[in-house]
Homo-oligomer: A and B are copies of this chain.
């Protein structure tokens, strides 16, 4: 039950995208250089965010990625599911169906007590993630480190790639 490392990259990159000038776009290469990440692979993760509708992309010169909507409307769950997929962590393969007394017309993913318990736990996890928006994270960071927005912008401005 290990989460892909792309989740961390995506979250921090989305956070950086909240600090760029409105109307501007940031290329995958620049976002990758910020944390010394493999540019092509980060690009792959950003594409997943595009497919999920979290960021928009524009090709060509002056192109790149930008947030598709306000940070208040982007939850951590959105980003996580965009990278990891919507599937649940606990896979109920319905072993009960293979066991004695197993019926073909029963949806054990819903009926199995074990599956229900695991689902309840995952629901708590999802609820926690869905309750935290990118704007809240951004606000917390800016409260602890007020210089972050300005220093981030200036670092990107002074980048030569």
Interface residues of A (CB under 8 A from B): 1-5, 7-9, 11-12, 15, 34-37, 76, 80, 84-85, 87, 89-93, 95-96, 98-101, 113-114, 117-118, 120-122, 124-125, 127-129, 132, 137, 140-141, 144, 151, 155
User: In the complex the two chains form, is A144's CB within 8 Å of B113's CB?
Assistant: yes
User: In the complex the two chains form, is B8's CB within 8 Å of A95's CB?
Assistant: yes
Secondary structure type dominating chain A contacts: helix
* Copies held by the complex: 2
Residues in B whose Cβ lies below 8 Å from that of A12:
95-96, 114
Known contacts A8-B95, A118-B129, then 10 further A-B pairs from the complex at CB < 8 Å, ordered by chain A residue: A1-B1, A1-B4, A1-B85, A2-B89, A3-B91, A5-B93, A8-B93, A12-B95, A121-B129, A125-B125
